[in-house]
Structure 1
């Protein structure tokens, strides 16, 4: 870990290096001329400090001596949030802020461009997070006295908060070295924008990480994807069946997030998907209008991802369709690889007479390495103590389990909740509804609950719409079985805002959170008191041993004196 004092020590050594003869300079000073060591130190400065401290430190190093200047400037300009920092390096009479935007006040000369070129080749990553350049500034940058791109060594581009009118200027930053391209802002694609999108693969053939706002609808996205042979990560909205087939054959693809077409895939497409597809995929996130379309997509597919995520936007009658989708997953996904499953379902029917049964998730029990499971919907979820415990027994490595972002009808008992913790020793975060009446109706016992069982890993818990009457009793119980818990929440979801007792139960659970923090502090004080008492006892024992030794010595001396006196008398 490098701090500011270490950096100034490096600077001091560089000054010594310049002022001392080579023969008399110390080894620690001479080692600073080693290029690899310099790079490693500056890399640590770049990666460790906050952006402001990092830039100040790198600037100070650049000004220290010529030995550091080039490398320090490379790291200083490596990552840019916008083009404004480059423009601010130009003469102050060239630019001015006008209504929050940088505007040029005169013509940009060859000398100005020469200054610009001192730094532009050092930029590796650009994120246009704010629209701070005026239209005239963009037009000037569009006409440099050298061939494009403006930043010739750019490898990562995030095109963010820029207006749709300025999207055409993205071509100023398209380099053959670009490997990451993220168009993160929703833009209305007209003919010119679509033309540029089609040109990007030709200008940037090395792109491996591509992301575009999911709301951007353009058939050219599907076409552009098929020109990149080395894609490893793709984030996009809806794409065509042809694009899906192309991506399924890429051996480099590790992460894929996309939206399925609203209609079922053609039979010919599904037939071709029966062959080995997505063979290297580790993360698969799919959005679909309905569960039925999702189910059909997985019908002939076999993949081995570590993470699966499903988002459904226009579902009608979820229970049967969800059960069908989940039941096909054991035949679709490799049992040993799957570690995370996430469901987010927007059900438009909202039929409370036909809830989703927790038993619907039972087929997931075959995935023994499951670590994270979450389910979110406004539909009613019917919990069952026995079914829940049967599932969690199959997931000994489970770290996160979240059902609280749903309308939960039946609440599991506190005994079942403790059993859940016992079967999942790695659980860090849990969200579920619990019936706390068994704890709420009895005072705080002097005996430790559950024979002293304590789940040391749990740190966050959310209890949905669980109702309680005595916050102190609940807090004492939770604090005892999960002594390291840091956050306890309930009734925080918007779906409960109109329920009776919303304000009352929110305030009670807020009190539980405060009490658990206090109990944790008191427990720590008690632990330290025990340790302190043990140390004092050890010290007293040491003193006692020392005192006992001195008394024995005195007795031995007296005995020796008596013996010599008696002997002398006899003589």
Structure 2
């Protein structure tokens, strides 16, 4: 008895063309200009090809100037000023609509788009200028032009990024009118960077917080600051997955901080948040950047979490009075109130606190499924090989690890030697490694600005993909140092070969054209890997290299 499989649907001509244009438009090998030229050429072949090509050419606009070029006989544009030449006709509306309906994203240009330009566009449209717009980035700083934002809003808009002029407080009223009329599908609101002027920013925080209850359907929210009343509104958002507050200063302050000051005790705040049961019910990504607020205030917020399923946590601090005990309290609360199996990315930085590396890294070992770990401090971190080994063993899934180079801010010299890199060679999943090292060539000194100096030199190593390189600049060449040669001869081969074997086990093609490598030794290494038959054991090679390294420990620490 024969079996019949259901007929498979064939792609239409339009769908096939869409696949072709998508391959051209999203190619990473071509510049935006080259992609546009290719699509313009294809659009000029025939009507069928033209329709799909125009969709891609007009999908994302950087500024409204392309729209102004649609009707050159209807208006005149000189230095952004638009003047109308004649009465508007139905043919003008049809021509403009042919292009406007294709636009899905607009990024406005600050200080370049005049009120007359937006007014002219509003004349040729019926209600909404761009009826299929999905994302609007409104950076119109001209107060007279700001309110034309209403002509770009419609119920199908999904993402709104807007910058307000804190000197024009009435602009914030837009936040109250948008939800009532235009926000049926709007799920992402980002209020972009505003000038840091204390009193003006406090006022804007209050206005934003008052408007937040009307935005309870958001899944992504980015704001400069929030008062406690606003925080309660955010905590009630049942769909909020991503929250970023980038100038946090009013967290536990009442709705009008300029007038009333703090109105709740910490205990009352906690009870109010916990009564929501739970607050932030589906929050996955949290980014907090403090501004004139102490670390304990953020710790108090973490205490309100109830087994939070955070996937990404980014904390940036700048408190002058923060202490290492505050840091210990923060990390203790993170471990107690966040699901250790859910967190995949953790980033931490402090511009003033001089903490030790061990005080930071030890609590994070509880989050054993971390894939990204970036920590930054005012001074360079000093790692031992034992600590590096513990990182690799405790975080087996780590893909990106960065202990930022605090020496650039503090002037301190890092004491890490190349030996701290050795444990990371056993981590096949590692894609990015950034550590400050002491790369001083003490016996020879250095030539800097034409003078012989004994100035200690250190650089950051970046491990991306299969390549571990040190940085060079036009005035400095670090490749002559003995230690860099050692990286080339030993560590590069170990890291690259380990990843090569891992890719082969996964069935991933790893042949890299020689022009993609940025140095002669990289090309030689690539050629050597291609000549290998792949039958020998990585473990045998790594063990042999480790024995070689054991005999060179003294040189690594003293040369």
The two structures have a TM-score, normalised by structure 1, of 0.68
Q: Structure 2 CA distance, aligned partners of 1:72 and 1:410?
A: 54
- For each residue in 1:349-368, what CA deviation from the matched residue of structure 2 results, as whole angstroms up to 9, or x when unmatched? x7xxx653523431111111
Query: What aligned pairs does 1:231-242 form with structure 2 within 5 A after superposition?
Result: 231-242=218-229
Assess if the C-alpha contact under 8 Å between 2:283 and 2:310 holds in 1. Answer: yes
Q: Structure 1 residue 195 and structure 2 residue 173: aligned?
A: yes
Could you say what secondary structure the match of 1:149 adopts?
A: coil
- 2:482 alignment partner in structure 1: 473
How far 1:381 moved relative to its partner?
4.6
Q: Which residue of 2 aligns with 1:19?
A: none
Q: Residues of 2 paired with 1:71 and 1:521: CA distance?
A: 42
Residue 343 of structure 2 is aligned to residue 338 of structure 1: yes
Query: Which residue number in structure 2 is paired with residue 249 of structure 1?
Result: 236
Distance in 1 of aligned mates of 2:390 and 2:532: 40
Instruction: For residue 226 of structure 1, give the secondary structure of its aligned residue in structure 2.
Output: helix
Q: Please name the residue that 2:16 is paired with.
A: 37
Q: 1:526 to 1:310 in 2, by over 3 A?
A: closer
The equivalent position to 2:278 in structure 1, one of 247, 255, 276, is: 276
Partner of 1:366: 366
Residues 122 and 153, structure 1, Cα contact 8 Å, conserved in 2: yes
Q: Is the 8 A contact 2:216 2:234 kept in 1?
A: no
Structure 1: where are the runs of 5+ without partners? 1-30, 443-453, 488-514, 532-571
Alpha carbons of 1:123 and 1:313: their partners in 2 closer, same or farther (altered >3 Å)?
Answer: same
| C-alpha contact (below 8 Å) 2:279/2:304 kept by paired residues | no
Matched residue of 1:285: which SS? Answer: strand
3-state SS of 1:396 partner:
coil
- The answer to whether the 8 Å contact 1:208/1:231 transfers is yes
8 Å CA contact 1:385–1:413 kept in 2: the answer is no
Counterpart Cα distance in 1 of 2:35 and 2:391: 48
**Aligned position for 2:447:** none
Whether the aligned pair in 2 keeps the contact of 1:329 and 1:364 (CA below 8 Å) is: no
Could you tell me which residue of structure 1 aligns to residue 78 of structure 2? Answer: 97
Instruction: Give the aligned partner of residue 406 of structure 2.
Output: 406
**Take 2:436 and 2:51, find their aligned partners in 1: how far apart are those partners?**
59
Q: Hey, what does 1:230 align to over in structure 2?
A: 217
Matched, 1:126 2:106: yes
Q: Is 1:315 equivalent to 2:320 in the alignment? A: yes
Distance 2:303 2:391 in 1: 24
- 1:430 CA drift (Å): 2.2
Q: In structure 2, do the counterparts of structure 1 residues 46 and 271 end up closer, same or farther at CA, with 3 Å as the change threshold?
A: same
SS at match of 1:483: helix
* Post-superposition offset of 1:309: 0.4
Task: Describe the shift of the 1:360–1:483 C-alpha distance in structure 2 as closer, same or farther (beyond 3 A).
Answer: closer
What are the equivalent positions in structure 2 for 1:172-211 lying under 5 Å apart?
A: 172-183=151-162, 185=163, 187-202=165-180, 203-211=182-190
C-alpha spacing 1:292/1:68, structure 2 compared with 1 (3 Å): same
Shift of 1:228: 2.8
Residue 186 of structure 1: CA displacement?
A: 5.7
SS, match of residue 482 in structure 1: helix
1:449 aligns with none
User: Which segments of 5 or more consecutive residues in structure 2 lack a partner in the other structure?
Assistant: 1-9, 195-200, 253-263, 445-462, 497-516, 534-559
Q: Deviations over 1:189-228 (max 9, x none)?
A: 5243122232122223321111111436343323333223
> SS at 1:117's partner residue?
helix
- For the 8 Å contact 1:371–1:398, the answer to whether it is kept is yes
Contact 2:133/2:157 (<8 A) preserved: yes
SS at match of 1:287: strand
Q: Select the structure that is richer in helix.
A: 1
Correspondence list, 1:37-56, <5 A: 37-48=16-27, 50-56=31-37
Instruction: Flag the 1:180–1:97 CA change in 2: closer, same or farther, 3 A.
Output: same
How far off its partner does 1:261 sit? 4.2
Task: Write the mapping of 1:71-150 to structure 2, written as runs, cut at 5 A.
Answer: 71-92=52-73, 94-98=75-79, 101-104=80-83, 106-107=85-86, 109-110=88-89, 111-144=91-124, 147-150=126-129
CA separation of 1:41 and 1:435: change in aligned 2, threshold 3 A: closer
In the alignment of these two chains, the number of paired residues is 448
CA distance in 2: counterparts of 1:167 and 1:152, whole angstroms: 19
Q: 2:301 aligns with which of 297, 302, 315?
A: 297
Q: Relative to structure 1, is the Cα distance of residues 252 and 418 closer, same or farther in structure 2, using a 3 angstrom cutoff? A: same
SS at match of 1:366: coil
| 1:378–1:90 Cα change, 3 Å | same
- What is the alpha-carbon distance in structure 2 between the residues aligned to residue 210 and residue 478 of structure 1? 47
Contact 1:431 1:462 in 2 (8 A): no
| Paired residue secondary structure (2:331) | helix
Question: 3-state SS of the aligned residue for 1:256?
Answer: strand
2:433 aligns to what?
430
Shift of 1:422: 4.2
After the TM superposition, which of the residue ranges 147-156 and 122-131 deviates more from structure 2?
122-131
Cα distance between partner residues in 2 of 1:245 and 1:235: 15
Question: Greater CA deviation, 168-177 or 472-481?
Answer: 472-481
User: 2:332 maps to which residue?
Assistant: 327
CA RMSD of aligned residues (A): 3.7
**2:289 counterpart (262, 287, 290):** 287
The verdict on how the C-alpha distance between 1:173 and 1:345 changes in structure 2, with shifts beyond 3 A counting, is same
Question: What SS does the aligned partner of 1:148 have?
Answer: coil
Partners of 1:436 and 1:73 in 2: CA distance? 54
What CA distance in whole angstroms lies between the structure 2 residues aligned with 1:109 and 1:139? 13
Cα deviations by residue, 1:332-353 (Å, 9 ceiling, x for unpaired): 2111111211112122xx7xxx
Corresponding residue SS for 2:519: helix
Deviations, residues 118-166 of structure 1 (Å, cap 9, x unaligned): 322222211113544333333333445x542111221110113643442
- What's 1:565 paired with? none
Instruction: Name the CA shift for 1:158/1:318 in 2 (closer, same or farther; >3 Å).
Output: same
SS at 1:158 equivalent = strand
